[in-house]
Amino acid sequence: MFVSTAVSVQAASLTNTQIQAILDLLSSFGADSATIANVNVALTGGVQIPSSCLTLTSNLYLGLNDNDTGGDVTKLQMFLAKDKSIYPEGLVTGYYGLTTEEAVKRWQAANGIVSSGTSETTGYGVVGPSTRGKMIAMCGVSTEYPPLPTYCDEECQKSNPGGYIWYEFEHNKFSQLDTIFNWVHTPNKNNVGIYPALSQFWMEAEGGYVGPQIEVQDNGNKIIKKAIFSIWDTADDNRTAQPAHSNCQRFGGEGTGAQCIIHNDPTAQSGGYYNEQIWKEGEEYKITIQKDKETEDSVIWSAKLVNLRTGAEKLIGKIELKDSKGYKGYGLITSTSVGFFEYYFGDKNKCLDAEYGKIIRKGPYADGKWLPKKGTYVNPACIRSNRYSSEPGVVTEEVGEGVSRSESKPLSGVLWELPQDIYIGGNVGLKIQTTLQMASVFNIFEGVFGHFVKWFSK
């Protein structure tokens, strides 16, 4: 079955570089290859996968073997052996030894992922989410989606309920982006870390992300809440993204950049700013990213968190972006944003073990006045995961125990699609519902009025 809702690159106003940045961001958050493939289909219109394409089900590193990984080490070695400059030894042993690690390093460097550091500091020599994502993205993707399981099969069971939403604006080049969230129900028993982030992409094509985060530790005896704002460097460790506030610091791993954190963990050893109350379950908050000021050779961007009931405001932090590739800073924010619901750690974060959770997102809002004309979802293989929209700009995500979705619902689809962005008149966080209702009424009136004009003109 071919997907009828696929979007072309031209329709989404995305360059190939911007599409690759989105795919890299997905893989950095641990998206599996099937999810990355679905996103790529929707952004590009679909390209067939060559038979030699590599898909891996787990991260790979020194010391693992086929028994640990379901045969993935052999698949990796066969993939690398096709290029003698990458893996001249060409050994297919099913064991991830030093020779395989060196081949992975060469492949990472050749494909612009990472070229220095260690497995612990930068992921050099480790086939992690970014490397796996790059391997599948380079191959292209099939226009056919995998069938939705009628029961939780093996693929379903090993996946988690995380999913994705991407938003497309007609307008482009923004100096401010707002998003509203209400985390209606959070986990409180299983050890797990969850991050429902919103990513942005600048004109330079690099990305960042912002959102609330929760970590449940010690089986619910310790619950850490955070708000995080991060932006990547334009290249590995070239330090184009710099902390510009005491809440912020540099980060590493798979990619480098600057990150700002506020949290409620009094035992945290380093990083971020402590505040006893960051956000509450069941209340609405607005996060604003905006261009703060320009310097001689950079632009500073800030992020803040606002409780929409009390008006209380917290600065998450500020990040300085060095002038890059002819842009002032990284340029302005572009027309596509991606919402993530990421499970980043946990001993019970797989499909059938996950606790119930629910979050409602509103927006994003560009320059305080525009809602995106289109919203599209991607669900995982896990059947306990669902995303739906009651109106343009409002998305509910439910995951975990008790959640189900129709067997006829595809893994990816359109939540809403309008001819143009919705103008809300600068009321972000004040009268969202009323504004949306008025916009809807106006759109209906405009349509009816147009029909009358055409009728009378006959």
So what's the pLDDT on residue 20? 67
Q: How far apart are CA 371 and CA 369, in angstroms?
A: 7
Cα separation values, 437 from 230, 273, 312, 360, Å: 34, 39, 27, 18
* Nearest CA-CA partner of 167 in 13, 369, 46, 382: 13
Is the distance from CB of 3 to CB of 412 less than 8 angstroms?
yes
How far, in Å, CA of 258 to CA of 221, rounded?
31
273 phi/psi in degrees, rounded to 5: -125, 130
Q: According to the model, what pLDDT value does residue 322 have?
A: 97
pLDDT of residue 6: 31
Per-residue model confidence (pLDDT) at position 456: 34
CA distances from 50 to 79, 133, 308, 431 (A): 13, 16, 50, 50
- Distance (Å, whole) CA 356 – CA 350: 12
- Angle, alpha carbons 198-192-249 (nearest 5°): 55
Q: So what's the pLDDT on residue 106?
A: 94
Per-residue model confidence (pLDDT) at position 179 = 96
Q: What pLDDT, on a 0 to 100 scale, did the predictor assign at position 72?
A: 82
User: Which residue numbers in the chain have pLDDT < 70?
Assistant: 1-21, 23-53, 55, 57, 136-151, 270, 347, 407-408, 426-458
Provide the token pair at 69.
């990984």
Q: What is the pTM of this model?
A: 0.67
State the pLDDT at residue 101.
Answer: 94
What DSSP letter does each residue of 231-278 carry, written as one string? EE-SSTT---EEE-STTEEEE-SSS-EEEEEEE--TT--SSSEE-S-S
Cβ neighbours for 343, distance < 8 A, ≥ 6 positions apart: 30, 160, 161, 162, 192, 193, 194, 349, 354
Peptide bond connecting 129 to the previous residue in cis, omega within 30 degrees of 0:
no
Per-residue model confidence (pLDDT) at position 25: 67
> Looking at the DSSP assignment, which residues form a beta bridge with residue 85?
none
Q: What is the pLDDT of residue 2?
A: 24
Residue range 295-318, pLDDT digits in tens = 999 999 999 999 999 999 999 999
Q: Which of 208, 206, 187 is nearest to 197 (CA)?
A: 208
Domains of the chain (ranges, CATH numbers): 9-139 (no CATH), 162-417 (2.60.120.1270)
- Which pair of structure tokens corresponds to residue 220? 């619910």
Reported as a single tens digit per residue, the pLDDT across 328-373 is: 999 999 998 999 999 988 867 788 889 999 999 999 999 989 999 9
Coil, strand, or helix at residue 2?
strand
Beta strand pairing status for 257-263 and 241-243?
Answer: unpaired
